[in-house]
Structure 1
């Protein structure tokens, strides 16, 4: 099949008619049609027949998700009961007083039941958020804080003395235990899906350029969600193959035969990757036909770097209008970010002070030169600041870089080498585990950097920026960021820029906390650090 070259830079987002945007990674093999081509063909993967699957495949997957949700419901309820019981025990002034004890028990039971109901009302166990992104945690935290906000108001209005103690004990215990429970269940879900189980069996539909991008994005993102069975392209026939990166993805049919293909493949989802022949009328009628197959339709909107919280739907007489909020680069949200930065950086400097002292001694003993390396970097608004690191290179590293220019392995305007001869002995393992970056906590306290943000660039890098890349400088650079948890030096320049721009326009406090947690995991299991 003739393949159309990639000529645009579409950046679709997935919007499901039954589930929300899902950008999980693809786990397991990408199946091809049985008898599709010779096994020796480049990119060929083991074949999977497209004959009707065993009866009950969808029911089995749905049953497993139902069991997963019910187990989550039971454990959430037990944890809430424990948190409320602990709060009651700490707040009850007289357990031997039968009247107060009976009233306290009744109030505690009511609180537990309302708390459990709040988790249901806020749809914290909706299948579309389980194991994907930070929305699951946000819903749990939002439901809990709103409930306890109501309790705090009621305690003041009705002068309930024990309410404050219940608030101080049950709230933090409940938040920590519920989020920890979700994390444990996520691990279980991720383990199952990494084995290729319980994935949504999907067919991607659209023009070759759009299909390639969607399939590649599904592959790269963490948290497996979809198993791509194949694609449907306008004017194509079954048996052809579409090259996506280093893979050959089977073409199951043309876009005129999608519904039949879905039935044969027992697909759960049809991902519309972009405009189709026939326009909106075709997509509407396709949705009607997919209802008969019990398959969901997922639409990819061609919007660049727009996250879910910035998107709002407003129906106008049957016309769904999608509103996208303009990014904000100042105001109360940024003040709160600064408060969190100072608190976290100050606490980290205090806790890590023995480690910092030990690293300083090691650097001093390893090679001649200063302990700290100060380098001018470009911060918010293009302002220059001095960024601190433990010295991990020889003292004349800057002068020797010109000699090594031809061996540069970095992406874009970056200079990187896997086996840089300028790196000291202790510098190699400090850089691997990002320990050389710890002095930047002081930069965070000073206000030059944030705990999370875009990578802090050098002046020579900024001078080589394209026009849109300068948007990285709209907020403070970060000690860590999306670049840190997605491969660091292994990232291509375009991907590093895309991640930074995405963060600049879509950051949030819960998202920052999630990035910090994933940074800890990335440091323990380093990849792309050199």
Structure 2
């Protein structure tokens, strides 16, 4: 479940009705008995195995033709005084590569739908395989053709990732449009914690978890009862969470996954027995600790005499990672400015000729550690836009930190076009070059906005603001102030170069398919 994809919706409303006994609990009206999750998972994993094989064989074939032409039998190497054709070595390497992807967990069911993590597994496994080949060639003095390896490695890696991306897009399309290939999930925990988990599941159907019921544990030994349904149809159950009662509810609801929150009312011994029972029934057990806003790489588990401890590493806001980020910003912004300089010149001329006003819009913004700087944009509004602002009402209301208004009358005809395609943001590459901003980061705030910040929001100023960020690829102007702050704080706590690159790709994709909602 990635925070780049969406944000949690408003809380669902519970509609209560007459209580039902456990044997009366059943799927909602209109639901049919779903396909067992093992079926579609097995088909998906089988498809991945087949696609990996096709990609690897294609890469080896391309490497053979590029390096040796059609001399399949002529070109080879000597092993133990025997001539071995390179196509034979290619088949062996392909088999080892394919098996390594499976053995390393690159096709584990846990990674179904998790594109970024699965891609990292593929990359790490591929580098390990070819690194091993390079080491063995050096140690034993094998005359390995470097050109063959240099073609096979990147070609195979790109083909594997491309085919997997296509398979994942098909899976996600089925989940988001038709609610197919989903795991029907029972959430066990007290109401507030369980509802939070439910809201996140409903907001992120791509994760493949469909909440069908919340099981609120009671402290007494009262019977399991069905007290109502949420707006989404998720049922609300209450009862003493005994293993037998939960298994009965799972069978009645056709559920194949259980999410356990922090507040279950179960003792450690009961949780252990509960886990055994679920394993015997073939039901997945998922733990949902109350750790929000923390990315996966910062979470590590450590067993302590059978007790699993979760370690959360401290956010790294300085050091070598910061220097690498700055180096990436310098190289990328310099290259982009050179590449798009003709576009900048043309847009400047169009803006100037449209109404004779200034080309650029300069505005004071607050950067890292509350430092102030002049941010540059192509002017998209009338020259006296700031003076007209006081006569307009924000869509967010007077009490909101941000000023937003849809259909702003101050926007010019040229400005509407350059905003639609985010062309007005391009001069901010100069701010990146000067060190005022980064390519990716929190939205650069106005000084007046910072004065109205609550304590938590000030953490947005611990890193350089960005031209784009989580706030842009997760809703842009459709986000509320609270949602924008949540996304920015998540970025500050978990930023990395890989996440920056992912956000840049998402921004480019959104720019090429604009919705005009900025």
Conservation of the 8 A alpha-carbon contact between 1:26 and 1:226: no
C-alpha separation in 2, matches of 1:410 and 1:525: 32
Matched residue, 1:509: 497
Alignment of 1:203-282 (within 5 A): 203-221=186-204, 223-235=206-218, 238-241=225-228, 243=230, 247=232, 249-256=234-241, 257-282=245-270
Q: Distance in 2 between matches of 1:327 and 1:162?
A: 43
Aligned residues: 494
User: Contact 1:271 / 1:299 at 8 angstroms: preserved in 2?
Assistant: yes
Aligned-partner Cα distance in 1 for 2:380–2:143: 57
In structure 2, C-alpha distance between the alignment counterparts of 1:341 and 1:159, rounded to whole Å: 42
Alpha-carbon distance in 1 for matches of 2:337, 2:398: 31
Q: Give, in angstroms, the shift of residue 483 of structure 1.
A: 0.8
Q: Give the corresponding residue for 2:129.
A: 147
Distance between the aligned counterparts of 1:21 and 1:254, measured in 2? 33
* Aligned residue in 2 for 1:191: 173
Alignment of 1:392-403 (within 5 A): 392-403=380-391
Shift of 1:445: 2.9
CA distances 1:77-115 after superposition (whole Å, capped 9, x unpaired): 221122233334334499474554834333322322222
Q: Which residue number in structure 2 is paired with residue 200 of structure 1?
A: 183
Give the alignment partner of residue 424 of structure 1, picking from 392, 412, 421: 412
RMSD over equivalenced CA pairs, Å: 3.3
Equivalent in the alignment of 1:302: 290
**What residue in structure 1 maps to residue 305 of structure 2?**
317
User: In 2, Cα distance between the equivalents of 1:251 and 1:110?
Assistant: 55
Instruction: Report the CA distance between 1:133 and its aligned residue.
Output: 5.0
| Unaligned residue ranges in structure 1 (runs of 5+) | 1-13, 15-19, 38-45
CA contact (8 A) 1:252 1:261 kept: no
Deviation at 1:58, TM superposition (A): 4.9
Confirm whether residue 82 of structure 1 aligns to residue 58 of structure 2.
Answer: yes
TM superposition shift of 1:200: 0.3
Q: Secondary structure at the match of 1:271?
A: strand
Q: Any residues of structure 2 matched to 1:369-448 within 5 Å, and which?
A: 369-404=357-392, 412-448=400-436
Partner of 2:333: 345
Task: Give the whole-Å Cα distance in 2 for the aligned partners of 1:222 and 1:232.
Answer: 21
Structure with bigger RCO (C-alpha 8 Å, 6+ apart): 1
Structure 1 CA distance, aligned partners of 2:470 and 2:462? 16
Q: Tell me which residue corresponds to 2:21.
A: none
Aligned pair partner of 1:354 in 326, 334, 342: 342
Matched, 1:500 2:500: no
Q: What is the alpha-carbon distance in structure 1 between the residues aligned to residue 144 and residue 443 of structure 2? A: 47
Does structure 1 conserve the Cα–Cα contact (< 8 Å) formed by 2:419 and 2:516? no
- What are the within-5 Å matches in structure 2 for residues 168-187 of structure 1? 168-187=150-169
The question of whether the paired residues in 2 share the 8 Å contact of 1:202 and 1:228 is answered with yes
Establish whether residue 126 from structure 1 lines up as the match of residue 111 from structure 2. Answer: no
Q: 1:120 is paired with a residue of what secondary structure?
A: helix
| TM-score, normalising length: structure 2 | 0.85
Shift of 1:418: 0.5
Correspondence for 1:63: 39
CA contact (8 A) 1:24 1:222 kept: no
Pair 1:207–1:367, CA change in 2 (3 A): farther
Do 1:25 and 1:219's aligned partners in 2 also have CA atoms closer than 8 Å?
no
1:277/1:139 Cα in 2 relative to 1: closer, same or farther (>3 Å)?
same
Q: Please give the alpha-carbon distance, in whole angstroms, between the structure 1 residues aligned to 2:201 and 2:75.
A: 60
Over 3 Å counting, the alpha-carbon distance change for 1:425 and 1:183 in structure 2 is same
List gaps (5 residues or longer) in structure 2. 19-26, 78-82
For the structure 1 residues 115 and 350, does the alpha-carbon distance in structure 2 shift closer, same or farther, using more than 3 Å as the test? farther
Which digits, 9 at most, give the CA deviation of each residue in 1:295-344, with x for residues without a partner? 12211111132111111111122111111111111222223223333333
Q: Return the offset for 1:201.
A: 0.3
Structure 1 residues 312, 365: closer, same or farther in 2, change over 3 A? same
Match of 2:48 in 1: 72
